[in-house]
Amino acid sequence: MKLLNYTSKYLAILLVPLITVWAVIFYYAMLDEIYDSLDDGLENQKVLLLQKLPTNPEILQHNDLDLWNHAITPISKQQYEKFEDRNSDTLMYMLNEQDFEPVRIYETKLAYNDHYYKVKFITSMVEEDDLIQDLVVYLIVLYVSLMIAIVILNNLMLKKIWKPFHNLMWQLRDFRIEKNDQITTMPTNIEEFRLLNASITTLIDQSRARYLEQQHFIENASHELQTPLAISINKLELFLENSNLPEDNVKTMASVLDNLGRLTRLNKSLLLLSKIENRQFVDEERIDFNQLTAEVIGDFQDLAAHKNIDLQLESVSKLTFRMNKDLAVILLNNLIKNSIVHGQQNNTVTVKIQTKTISISNFGSAKPLDSDIIFSRFKKLSSDNKSTGLGLAIAKAISEKYGIELTYSYSEQHIFKLTFS
């Protein structure tokens, strides 16, 4: 949920009890005021009646409440003396509404020419159920309009206020430390955002410095390893040329040489990986993948034949893509080599080129590989101790550099697929 809606949600929840409590208080306050003014009106009627009585004594005959809105009943003196004015509510049948409706009654007394009377005044009252109904309707309208106003205001104001923050978030979402793109912060007057901008800038600068340091460490370490490796390999090769060495010595030397060779390959792969990540392959050209794949496959025919693997190329359509040529060769090499090395003997490895994809499939172990880790460094999935565990990681690094999608899937065959965008 967005921050914007989050605050709106809390406001919406908070407003419900607030408006309800307010409505109850308002209702009673209003009702009180209505009673007050009704009672005043009824008392006023009494004053009017008394004024009219001397000229219209027949008023005293009015005893039908429905007709006159007042009823006068004679009472005895004792009753008169004991009687106290009172206001009360009751229901009366209203013809127009054809229902009993609440009315306010004012009962009082009057004395006229030594006769004593009790007088009842009535007036139509506010219908409480209608009042409540109306009140609820209006309150809902108020609530809804308040919410709409709040959401609109929130949207307009908060959006404006939070703009530097959202801008930063968008950039951070796409941020990759290995890419050299910068985070640009928006100038803002809000202190918290200024602090955030400053912190993020510092954090990113520091992380990138560490990252580069680490990258260069790998690169420098690999470079430094080359010379001692070269010296050891060459010394052993010179030693091997002594023709009078016994066979087991030669074999031991050869085995040491093999392992030094592995170390060399590992070192070269690491160096290559950090070079790709350090963006040291700048030159790009449009690569004809049909032709290049054919060349690479040609190079691997001997290796495939040795494993009795039928290495096939299916060029369904033309595919060209702009990238560094060396990296294109390495990419194809690593994937095809991987398929041959792990491919099943006496079976096929197929490279298929379509409009936007190259897929390399081989038969092999009957269960799919863990696609989450096969592209990680040093994740060897076979017991093959001669592989460096970096071939697929390098392929992944190359494809990521050019936005090519490299995926693994399994359906009878192990399939590595390059999707060019």
List residues binding other proteins (CB under 8 A).
223-224, 226-227, 229-231, 233-235, 237-238, 240-241, 243, 247, 250-251, 253-254, 257-258, 261, 264-265, 268, 271, 275, 280-281, 299-300, 302-303, 305-307, 326, 329-330, 333, 337, 340-341, 384, 386-388, 391
Q: For the CB of residue 395, give the shortest distance to other proteins in the complex, in Å.
A: 12
- By C-beta, is 104 or 401 nearer to other proteins? 401
Min. distance of Cβ 327 from other proteins in angstroms? 11
Cα–Cα dist 399/392, whole Å:
10
CB of 234 to other proteins, least distance (A): 4
Number of CB atoms found within 10 A of residue 300's CB? 19
Q: To the nearest 10°, the Cα dihedral for 310, 313, 316, 317?
A: 170
Beta bridge partners of 418: 358, 406
* Closer residue to other proteins (CB): 199 or 234: 234
| Minimum distance from residue 218 beta carbon to other proteins (Å) | 14
| Neighbouring C-beta atoms of residue 2, cutoff 10 Å | 10
Which SS3 state, helix, strand or coil, does residue 247 take? Answer: helix
Compare residues 207 and 226 and give the one whose CB is closer to other proteins.
Answer: 226
Nearer to other proteins, 38 or 271 (CB): 271
Report the residue number, 56 or 365, with the smaller CB distance to other proteins: 365
Nearer to other proteins, 332 or 404 (CB): 332
- What is the CB neighbour count within 10 angstroms for residue 340? 20
CB 376 → other proteins: shortest distance, Å? 17
User: Toward other proteins, which CB reaches closer, 53 or 257?
Assistant: 257
Instruction: Name the token pair of 221.
Output: 């370490």
Q: How far is the CB of 302 from other proteins (least distance, A)?
A: 5
Q: How far apart are CA 298 and CA 313, in angstroms?
A: 10
Closer to other proteins at the Cβ: 116 or 416?
416
> Least distance to other proteins from the beta carbon of 375, Å?
16
Across 276-288, b (16+ Cβ under 10 Å) vs e yields bbeeebeeeeebe
**Least distance in angstroms from the C-beta of 247 to other proteins:** 5
Query: Rounded to the nearest whole angstrom, what is the least distance from the CB of residue 417 to other proteins in the complex?
Result: 21
Q: Whose Cβ is closer to other proteins: residue 71's or residue 311's?
A: 311
DSSP one-letter code for 356: S
User: In 3D, which of 74, 71, 79, 64 has the Cα closest to residue 112?
Assistant: 74
- Indicate the SS3 state at residue 355: coil
For the record, the structure tokens of 170 come out as: 């968008």
How far is residue 92's CA from residue 96's CA, in Å, rounded to a whole number? 12
Tokens 């912060």 -> residue: 185
Distance between first and last Cα of the chain? 33
Residue 362, both tokens:
């081989």
Strands 310-315 and 348-353, sheet pairing? parallel
- CB of 241 within 8 A of CB of 257? no
